[in-house]
Amino acid sequence: EKRKAPRHTSQLASGQIMKEGGAPGVTRNIATEAALKARAQHQRRYVQTHRVSAVNYTAMAAARLAQAESFRKAAVEAVAAATNRVPTPQDATDGASPFFDNLFAKTQHPEGKWKLWNRLDVLVPPNGGTNCTWATFRDAYNLNQRPYMCVYPKEDDNFVSGSIISSGSWGECPPLTKLFYQWMKQNPHQKEEDMIFLDVGANIGTCVMQMLYTTKVKLIIFEPHPLNLQKLTSTLVAQPMEVRKRVALFPVGAGQGPVESPIYMASNNRGNSVVGKVIKDTESQPFEEAATVYVEAIDDLFAADADAFTVPLMKMDIQGYECFAMDGMQRVLQQINVIKTEATALWLDAQGCSEQGLKDRITNAGFSITSIFNGEIVGHRGGAPRLTQSAGNAFKGQQAALIKRRHEEAVLKEVRLEQERLLRLMIKNTTASST
C-alpha cells in the first residue's frame, strides 16, 4: 500500500516527522499511516466519481433500451397491421412513389401470379411462413435511428440472420456504401437521391437496409423466395413510409424468363436459395421443400424508352444464376456503372455456367474487373476510379459517426463492468466487516 500511495504524501509526512526529531522507526510508521489514509481518500473519490458516472451512463443506457423497445413494439405492430390487410381504394395513392413512374414496362404477371410490391403489405407465403425474430440493424449511421429487421432464428439461419442478431450487420453489405460514394465522388454533378441501386438477390434485405440507411439512393430489388419475401417485406413495413417509397420490389427471380421454376432453400442457411436445383454447401446439408417462383428478364421489366436513369451500383448474389441474370439484362447493363457480384465456382458450375463465363459477360458488357476476392468480383465501367486523398469524404463522415456510436457502446460496456466490479468490492467489504 505504501508503494501505491502518492509519493508526495509519504515525503511530506516523513519530512514533518524528521523536523520534529522523531525516531526513524516512528517516521516510517507515521508515513505509512499517512499514505494509507491518502490512498483510502483517493479510493473514495474514485468510487464516488465513477458511481456518479455509472449512474449517468446507466440512465442513458436505460433510455436507449426503452427507445429500442419502443421501436421493436412499433415494428411488431406495423407488421401485424400489414399482414393479411384488407385492400382499400386508397392503396394506390398511399403506396405510390412518383420516382418510379414510367420506369417500368411490366409490374405484374399477366395472370396475376406476381405483382410489384405495393409498399403496404407483408407478402405472406402460401403455407403461412414463420414469425419474425427481431434484431437491430446497427450499420445505420444516423445515431437517432435504430431500425429493426425481421430475421430467421439463429438455428434456422446461422449465417446472415445469425450475423445480424450478433453484430447487427452482414459483412458483404458495408462495402456497398463505399463503392457507391466512390462513384459519386467521381461524378459530383449527379444528385444522390436520383440514383438507383440495383439489388439482384435481396434475400431478407440486409444490403437493402445498408443502402437505405447509409445513402439517399433509390432501390430496385429482386427476391423470389416466399419465405425471404415475408422477412424482407416485414422489415420494410416496419420502416417509415418515406423510406419505403424509395424501394421498388419485384417478387421474382432474375434470369432469361419469363419462366416458372422451383426454388430450393437450405434449412440451416437461408441465404442458400437456389433456382432450379439443389446445390448444397456440404453433402449433408438439409433442404426445405421446394417452392414455386417466377423468373423474369430484367430488360423485360423496364420500359423501352427508360434509358435516362442511372445505376451507380448493382449487387448480385443469386447462387450460380448470375450468368442467366446478366443474359437477361443486356439493355439495363448499359445504365450500370459498378457491379459487385458473387462468383463461386460450385454454384456457377452446377447451373451450367462457370467463373470464367461470368467474367466474360462482365467484360463484354464494358466493365473492367477491378477486384476478385473471397468469391466476389467487382467491375467498374471504364476501370477503377482514381481516388484522391479526399475521396469518399461523405462515406468517411458517416463512418466517423458509426465509430462514435460504437465508442459510446464500448463506454457503456466498460461502465457495466465497473458497476459489477464495485458491486463485488462492496460485497467483499461487507463480508469483511461482518467477520
Q: What is the pLDDT of residue 71?
A: 77
Structural domain harbouring 102: 85-386
123 and 206 part of one domain = yes
272 and 400 part of one domain = no
302 and 395 part of one domain = no
Contacts of residue 362, defined as CB under 8 A and 6 or more positions apart, other chains included, come to 326, 339, 341, 369, 377, 379
In a domain, 138, yes or no: yes
In a domain, 403, yes or no: yes
240 and 349 part of one domain = yes
In a domain, 22, yes or no: no
Q: Give the CATH number for residue 93.
A: 3.40.50.150
In a domain, 322, yes or no: yes
Amino acid symbol at 353: C
Sign of torsion, CA 20 22 24 29? Answer: negative
Q: What is the pLDDT of residue 140?
A: 56
In a domain, 28, yes or no: no
In a domain, 71, yes or no: no
200 and 138 part of one domain = yes
403 and 370 part of one domain = no
Report the half-sphere exposure of 96 (CA within 13 A, side-chain side).
Answer: 9
113 and 257 part of one domain = yes
Please tell me the total count of domains within the chain: 2
243 and 128 part of one domain = yes
317 and 396 part of one domain = no
382 and 392 part of one domain = no
pLDDT per residue, tens digit, the chain (435 aa), is: 445 444 544 444 444 444 444 455 555 567 777 777 888 787 777 777 766 666 666 777 777 777 777 778 888 888 888 887 888 888 888 889 999 988 999 999 999 999 999 999 999 998 888 889 999 998 755 545 678 999 999 999 989 999 999 988 899 999 999 999 999 999 999 999 999 999 999 999 999 999 999 999 999 999 999 999 999 999 999 999 999 999 999 999 999 989 999 999 999 999 999 999 999 999 999 999 999 999 999 999 999 876 678 999 999 999 999 999 999 999 999 999 999 999 999 999 999 999 999 999 999 999 999 988 888 999 999 776 654 444 445 445 555 555 555 555 555 666 666 666 776 776 666 666 655
pTM, entire model: 0.76
In a domain, 349, yes or no: yes
254 and 275 part of one domain = yes
In a domain, 181, yes or no: yes
409 and 333 part of one domain = no
